[in-house]
Chains A and B, each alone.
Chain A
Amino acid sequence: MKRLLSALLLCLFAAPGFAATFTFTAIPDEDESRLVERFGKVADYLEQRLGVEVRYLPVKSYPAAITAFRLNQVQLAWFGGLSGVQARRLVPGAQAIAQGYEDQFFRSYFIANTSTGLTASEQLDPSIGGRTFTFGAKGSTSGRLMPEFFLRQQFGKAPEALFSRVGFSGDHSMTIAQVQAGVYALGVVNYLVWESELAAGKIDTDKVRVIWQTPDYPDYQWTVRGDVDAVFGVGFADKLRAALLEMDDPALLEAFPRKSFVPASNADYQPIEDVARELDLLQ
């Protein structure tokens, strides 16, 4: 029995095709069909630039992306601000190597169902208190961390105390859909997802509108494991960074959607780490 079991386990472990493939993932922050489409193209581009087989591993949640990175199941990941910080804490030597141009000054939009009668203003209307509100994913930077920080800053209260109900929709597309359908009166989203869904005609502006935009903060970045050079050859990380920074095909960039990629470092995300610690989202 024991021998059989170990033989079976060996079969499981020894499955081929893992060692030489460079694998990456991304946090599932919006509609999954779009994720597969956009990262499939990126895999092709990287494969051509790096000269190794490149694969995209789809995941279901933010923590799953971080775990895959920690276990070396993926070597590169497109993380949000907070998930990047969490991942680099779990994987010593991991480096943020590039961020979107827009990620240097990212922001979130607070949105409201039009039935609330709320309109865009310089500051959040105090009458939002007592209504229902949804964040995005629990580990999202633009859909949870920074909005919660700004809410606490303005109202001096935890979101659970401010609103009659606080939900976590799971991703930005879902937040928009639920506020639009009236499931929640208010929500908060990544501003780029909002802009791109608006441009794609997926948002009914008679039903949902932006009521406030947050101040700027740093967000998404590409983070790579520190041991890629040892596995894929000396200089691999540099080659990867160059490939990401030189990505200029609008079809690729539009899928993110980012104007271009610019260099980034771990230090750029110190503010995010500080906020996460303050909100007790990081131990």
Chain B
Amino acid sequence: MSLTGFWRERPNLSRALLFAALALVSLPFLDIELHRPDPWQELGRIGLGLLQPRWDDAASLAQAVLYTLAFAFCAVTLAVAAGGVLALFYHRWPVRVACAATRAVHELFWGLLFMQFFGLSALTGVLAIALPFSGIFARVFADIFAEQSTLPRQVIAPGRVSLSALCYTTLAQAWPQLTSYLRYRFECALRSSAILGFIGLPTVGFHLESAFRQGDYAEAACLLWVFYVMIATLRWWLDRRLIPLYCLIAFFVLPPSPPVSVSLLGEFVTRDIWPLALREGDYIGALAWYAQEVTRVVLPAAAYTVMLSLVALAAAGVVVLFLFPIASRVCVGRLAIAGHALLVFVRSTPELLLAFVFLLLVGPSALPAILALAIHNGGLVSYLTAREADRLPLRADHAHGINLWAYELVPRLFPRMFALLLYRWEVMMRESAILGILGVATLGFYVDSAFAQFRMDRAFLLIAATALLNIAADAVSQRVNRGLRFEADALARDC
């Protein structure tokens, strides 16, 4: 058998090795260092804090939780409406491009942009989540609608294109899928809402950031527990019949917004985000400015972001290989419940928060970012893989222990695992860019600097570059996965 034949017959292995090789090549370019001589002492203090949560001011805690929920509810409501409408026109390319662009920009970047003209207001928080979510909903809704059988429609309303035809046929069929997807997205919205606190909106993240920064781990732990409980109990309180009521309440509890200055908004869109040369009509000068920015800042930062995400992807793969058995019944029996709980815990913690804590622990380098991305995404994929492992039909005389893992589970689950990881790659790329806000040299670092210097032209260019990068990553992972013929689990997508 020829060598190419060998690889062609093992598409999963060859692709996985390709990504592993890319990660290995990237490694020397990343700056990975342990700066704190002794992180264990601090880690111990965090552990102690987690066991002894404490919060002195119950009113401010309740307010932060309420705002976190309110932002998420309002944003998801708006996004469902907008996404639903856009899904009907998703076959038109301008709609597809617009949706791809909105979802390629991270909620935090949207937040930073909106803050420039809406200030620290409810509008900023709600729109920062609602906009990318609309883009995501449009695509997913369109996918779900397309999957439905067209037969009912042909029978009930042949040749009619109307709202009632849609409601009584396609929408009715898709309903169970839509609601389960929305429940999961709401969890994502809660995470995004919490994270927006890092840039100053009054959600849980606002207090989390200060508490961790000041080393007040008992207080931070209290917030974290509240956040976990909120997510873990979702299925009990997020009742379909209560949702309209929740939304109504949410609109009333939102923090007050200052009046919007239309002139500032106009100025931002027509003036601030364009380079000086362009505003003065000097097109050659503007081109030179763009060329200089691209070569000096955008390309190096983009390369760093890609390399970081590749290393994080490989690290997440390693995490999955060794972590999924702890939540799988065939491997650990009853203990799987504990493993399952740990994985839910890990995947509910936003990457930004994980990275922030690691940064405080080991100092600023690419290491905290890689750890955070690998743990969060590895945890999520492990969770899904473990679920898959328990569904596998096994022979009565199957092997046990390490042999079961090495010779049966891993080989059989590998294609699925790899496909899921690849779907997460786009997410990891989005997150790597954002982690720059914490000081890693990815695109987010320069976005943050540009905002600090009020250079909106540079900030805008960098955010646009980030969006392009994410769109490219999405295209690559879809292409590779199409070869593997796997449909992504909704849970593995986007957030």
**A interface residues, Cβ below 8 angstroms from B:** 1, 4-5, 8-9, 11-13, 15-18, 31-33, 57, 59-64, 66-68, 70-73, 86, 90, 132, 137-139, 165, 167-168, 170, 173-174, 177-178, 181-184, 281-283
Contact = CB atoms under 8 A, between A and B. Distances in A.
A31 B364 contact: no
Interface in B116-132: 116-123, 126
Contacts of A57: 120
B77 to A, nearest CB: 9
B83 interface: no
B81 A12 contact: no
A167 B364 contact: yes
Contacts of A182: 35-37
23 contacts: A1-B81, A4-B81, A9-B123, A12-B123, A15-B122, A15-B257, A18-B256, A31-B213, A59-B120, A61-B199, A64-B200, A67-B115, A67-B116, A71-B261, A165-B31, A170-B213, A174-B213, A178-B363, A181-B36, A182-B36, A183-B35, A183-B36, A283-B276
Contacts of A72: 258, 261
A279 to B, nearest CB: 10
Interface stretch (B149-157, B298-306, B399-407, B445-453): B445-453
Nearest to A34: B214
B92 to A, nearest CB: 18
Contact of A13 (B115, B216, B260, B451): B260
Interface in B158-202: 198-200
Given A71-B119, A132-B35, A59 B200 contact: yes
Given A63-B454, A73-B120, A86-B454, A16 B364 contact: no
B48 interface: no
Q: What 5 pairs across the A-B complex have the smallest Cβ distances?
A: A15-B256, A60-B200, A183-B363, A138-B452, A71-B119
B208 to A, nearest CB: 12
Given A5-B78, A132-B35, A182-B37, 20 more contacts: A5-B81, A16-B256, A17-B256, A32-B213, A59-B200, A60-B199, A60-B200, A63-B452, A64-B120, A72-B261, A73-B121, A90-B454, A165-B31, A181-B36, A181-B42, A182-B35, A183-B36, A184-B363, A282-B453, A283-B455
A70 B449 CA distance: 19
Q: Specify which of B42, B121, B454 lies most central, judged by the most chain A CB atoms within 10 Å of its CB.
A: B454
Contacts of B36: 181-183
Nearest to B451: A63
A13 B210 contact: no
Nearest to B365: A165
Interface in B213-272: 213-216, 251, 254-261, 264
B115 A12 contact: no
Contact of B258 (A18, A86, A168): A18
B251 A168 contact: no
Contacts of A18: 256-259
A177 B448 CA distance: 22
Contact of B35 (A4, A64, A73, A184): A184
Nearest to A61: B200
B274 to A, nearest CB: 13
A112 to B, nearest CB: 15
A63 B113 CA distance: 12
A5 B42 CA distance: 48
A33 B213 contact: no
A125 to B, nearest CB: 21
Given A60-B206, A61-B200, A66 B454 contact: yes
Interface in B30-81: 31, 35-37, 42, 78, 81
Q: Specify which of A90, A174, A181, A281 lies most central, judged by the most chain B CB atoms within 10 Å of its CB.
A: A181
A64 B115 contact: yes
A16 B258 CA distance: 9
A170 B264 CA distance: 28
Contacts of A8: 78, 251
A32 B214 contact: yes
Contacts of B451: 63
Interface string B279-322: 00000000000000000000000000000000000000000000
A13 B259 contact: yes
A41 B159 CA distance: 70
Nearest to B364: A167
Contacts of A61: 199-200, 452
B210 A32 contact: yes
B200 A183 contact: no
Contact of B119 (A9, A68, A138, A184): A68
A139 B453 contact: yes
B78 to A, nearest CB: 8
B209 interface: yes
B85 interface: yes
A99 to B, nearest CB: 22
Nearest to B198: A60
A65 to B, nearest CB: 9
Nearest to B456: A283
B206 to A, nearest CB: 7
B85 A281 contact: no
A1 B213 CA distance: 43
A12 B214 contact: no
B362 to A, nearest CB: 8
A71 B214 contact: no
Contacts of B251: 8, 11-12
B439 interface: yes
A66 B120 CA distance: 11
A281 B117 CA distance: 22
Nearest to B123: A12
B258 A71 contact: yes
Interface in B336-385: 363-364
A50 to B, nearest CB: 20
A86 B452 CA distance: 10
A71 B117 CA distance: 7
A1 B80 CA distance: 12
Q: Specify which of A5, A12, A86, A184 lies most central, judged by the most chain B CB atoms within 10 Å of its CB.
A: A12
Contacts of A181: 36, 42
Nearest to A57: B120
A202 to B, nearest CB: 11
Contacts of A173: 214
